[in-house]
Amino acid sequence: MNVDLIAPPDKEKPGSAAKKPWFWYWVPTAVFLIGIFSIVLLLWANRINADARRDDLITAALMDAQINAATGHLWLEEAVSGDDTADQALAEIDQAITLINIVLNGGETEHGLIAEALLDPELRGHAETLRSMLVTFKKLAQERLQDITKAGIASDLDQQFDAAFKELLGKARGLEEIITKNEAEEQVKAGRLFLCILSAWIFIVIATTAGLWSREVRRKSAEEALLKAHAQLLAQTAELTEHREHLTGLVEIRTAELTRANELLRGEIDERKRMEGEVLKLNNALELKVEERTRQLFEIQEELVRGEKLAILGQLSGSVGHELRNPLGVMSNAVYFLKMVLTDADATVREYLEIIKKEIDTSLQIITDLLDFTRTKPPQRVVISAEEVVRQSLERCTVPENVAVTVALPDGLPRLKVDPLQMGQILTNIITNGVQAMPDGGALWVAARFVGAPPCGCPEAGGHEEPPLQDFIAISVTDTGEGIAPENMIKLFQPLFTTKARGIGLGLVVCKNLVTANSGRIEVESEPGKGTTFSVFLPIERGEP
């Protein structure tokens, strides 16, 4: 399990903007604001100061102008009195007018520079009135002086002049008062403004401080909350980690359990597979057994069917043999008759008569085999030489010209004790088989040899009974025919088995029965395509009478 730990607040995340301390923003802002306010304040102060100074200068100028007017008045009085001060008086009045002009339009005074013209309309009106009064006063003064020069000073003019002067002074004082009053008002205004600014400044400072303090408080509380949250987070993280570890442990345990279960399962699967394999093997074995049994059953069935056939054959063979021998006898007689009377018949007729005779013989042989099979006559054994038996058998056989017969009988063989007729039947049958196996010709060997008493359990194809331990003479017939297929070897001595197109498959059975009846046995060796050897083992005479 993957749990992301939350970074503590004092840890700056890499890549993000550095968290600046609170005062990083607030100090410059406060300084800037205070500076601005200070500048504004200073400007205000300067302004007020300038106004005050101007007012002071104007007041001073006005006072100077009063003084000049008064001086002029005095000088004029003096002039009137006869002193030569008229020019001085006029100069003083001009000075006063100049000062008023300066007050009105700005200019250099002996106290300082009045920078700008008087803008206040009331004051300007007063000042202009004052200037016109001064001009009037000057004109009066000039007139008085003329009078003086003319002779005597008219009392009206004097009065008028004094009144004007008084009025002038009054006006000047009024203006001065106004100005002074204005100045006082200005000062009050300035004080108020200052107070306002100061209080505003204090408010700002207090507000800023309070804001900062509250922010600090909030920051602290937030930090505390953050720390608390962080602590909680850490606790939760720890809990989560613990939980995760627990889960991991559980997962490991479960994994181990699953692995174990898996192994068990795998083992079971292997076992199952092995069992299946065994079952399969057993199944196969069973199938083989079933096949084997089925085959055996089939064989038994075949045997039964054959037995059935043989039983029917036994029942039928007697009557059928009898019934067939009669017509065959008639046919045989007829052929005999024809051969007898047709002595001068042409070759074809004689050949055909011969064909009929052969076919009758073949049919009779089949009947004879049938009858012999169903009823083997007990042998009438006599002492006879193998040579005699072979000779008689060969005489009975019709061997075609394309088959070369070789007889190899060694001298000095012991004599046999067998039924000669049955022996003839056996050998005739075997020789005939050999000849028939070579339709395109070949070689036929008939040989005899002495065979000593065989060790017990010798392989033998004929007879299931153990032959007595005695000496034999083996008469063998070998052909160079087509041979016998291996699968047919075991059926060779079974009744009704034949590979011939014509034949009921009893010849070799009869042979075997007859050989067994004569205490002998019959063996066969064959190589397909090369030939077959039938060996008949016959007992020798043992000196019995």
Partner 1 sequence: MREKQKILVVDDDRRMVKTICDILRVKGYEALPAYSGEEAVEVAKREAFDCVLMDLKMSGIDGVAALKMIKDVVPDTPVVLMSAYATKEQAEEAKLHGAAMVLTKPIDFQQVLSFFSLLRKAESVLPSDGTFTTEELEMSHTHEHL
Nearer to partner 1, 268 or 354 (CB): 354
Alpha-carbon 42 to chain mean position: 81
Shortest spacing between CB 497 and partner 1, in angstroms: 25
Q: Which range, of 221-229, 324-332, 462-470, 491-499, touches partner 1 by CB under 8 A?
A: 324-332
Position 330 contacts partner 1 (CB under 8 A) = yes
The single residue among 72, 321, 507, 531 that binds partner 1, judged by CB under 8 A, is 321
22 sits near partner 1 (criterion: CB under 8 A): no
Q: Name which position in 30, 63, 157, 328 contacts partner 1 (CB under 8 A).
A: 328
Min CB(333)–partner 1 separation in Å: 3
Which residue's CB is nearer to partner 1, number 317 or number 480?
317
Q: Give yes or no for residue 124 binding partner 1 (CB under 8 A).
A: no
**How far apart are the C-alpha atoms of 81 and 75, rounded to whole Å?**
9
Among residues 329 and 410, whose Cβ is nearest to partner 1?
Answer: 329
CA 519, 524, 530 angle in degrees (round to 5)? 155
Using CA of residue 410, residue 412, residue 413, residue 419, what is the dihedral sign? positive
Q: Is 333 a binder of partner 1 (CB under 8 A)?
A: yes
Residue from 125, 191, 249, 318 binding partner 1 (CB under 8 A):
318
Where does this chain touch partner 1 (CB under 8 A) — which range of 124-132, 277-285, 330-338, 432-440? 330-338
| b/e 20-45 (16+ beta carbons within 10 angstroms → b) | eeeeeebeeebeeeeeebeeebeeee
Q: Does 396 bind partner 1 (CB under 8 A)?
A: no
Q: Is residue 343 within the footprint of partner 1 (CB under 8 A)?
A: no
Task: Determine which residue in the list 17, 18, 119, 341 makes contact with partner 1, applying CB under 8 A.
Answer: 341
Q: Can you tell me the distance from the alpha carbon of 529 to that of 524, in angstroms, rounded to the nearest whole number?
A: 15
Binding residue (CB under 8 A) for partner 1 from 58, 96, 148, 360: 360
Closer of 421 and 524 to partner 1 (Cβ): 421
Tell me phi and psi for residue 43, to 5 degrees. -60, -45
Please state whether 491 falls in left (phi above 0), alpha (psi between -120 and 50) or beta. Answer: alpha
How far is C-alpha 414 from the chain's CA centre? 93
CA dist list (Å): 329 to 334, 368, 403, 537: 8, 13, 31, 35
Q: How far from each other are the two terminal CA atoms of the chain, in whole angstroms?
A: 115
Check if the beta carbon of residue 126 is closer than 8 Å to that of residue 95. no
Stretch that binds partner 1, among 155-163, 299-307, 328-336, 453-461 (CB under 8 A): 328-336
Quick one: DSSP state of residue 165? Answer: H
Among 326, 362, 406, 499, binds partner 1 (CB under 8 A): 326
332 binds partner 1 (CB under 8 A): yes
For residue 410, give the DSSP letter. Answer: -
Tracing tokens 């059928």 back to the chain, one arrives at 320
- Binding residues for partner 1, rule CB under 8 A, total 22
SS3 breakdown of the chain: % helix, strand, coil, rounded to 5? 70, 10, 25
Strand partners, 444: 405, 479
Q: Which 365-384 positions form the footprint of partner 1 (CB under 8 A)?
A: 371, 375, 377
Those residues whose C-beta lies under 8 Å from the C-beta of residue 94, and which sit 6 or more positions away, are 138
Sequence-distant (6+) residues with CB within 8 A of 320 are 367, 370
Least distance CB 401 / partner 1 (angstroms): 21
Q: Is 280 in the site for partner 1 (CB under 8 A)?
A: no
Least Å distance, CB 471 to partner 1, is 29
- By CB under 8 A, tell whether 329 contacts partner 1: yes
Enumerate helices (H) and strands (E) in the chain, giving the number of each: 9, 9
* Interacting residues toward partner 1 by CB under 8 A: 318, 321-323, 325-326, 328-334, 336-337, 340-341, 360, 364, 371, 375, 377
